[in-house]
Amino acid sequence: MGKVLRDASGRWNKGASANPGGFTSEERQQLRALKKLCLTNAQTAIAKMIALMNCGSPSVEFAAAKDLLDRAGLKSEILGFEDEGPTLNDLSDAELDEVIRIARERVAGATATGSSE
């Protein structure tokens, strides 16, 4: 067997770790700070994605809508899009309006509940 990590009373031996390849406390602190920064700017990021959905470039609009839906937990497969799926030109105005409506509802729900997914 390998190195003994605990003493006879079950305490960790000095220098032993239950998570030897994991994050250090400093790295965990940095990740928490980064997540807080991202959450602080989430509304701005969402507004930018929505603006990109109306920029006039079909490829940018589709990518922005798809990414926003993915971030809101609505994977494109749920809406019938494939990786080689339709471009915005393939969708009717009503279909585009529905995709945007769903994205806005999901984003509003996620931000209202504080979800970070």
- The model's pLDDT over 79-88, given as tens digits with 9 standing for 90+, comes to 555 555 556 6
The token duo for 11 is 């305490």
Locate the domains of the chain by residue range.
Answer: 37-113
Measured CA to CA, the distance from residue 87 to residue 100 in angstroms comes to 15
pLDDT for residue 42 is more than 60 = yes
pLDDT band at 66 (very low <50, low <70, confident <90, very high): confident
pLDDT band at 33 (very low <50, low <70, confident <90, very high): very high
Per cent of the chain over pLDDT 70 is 74
pLDDT attached to residue 65: 85
pLDDT attached to residue 79: 57
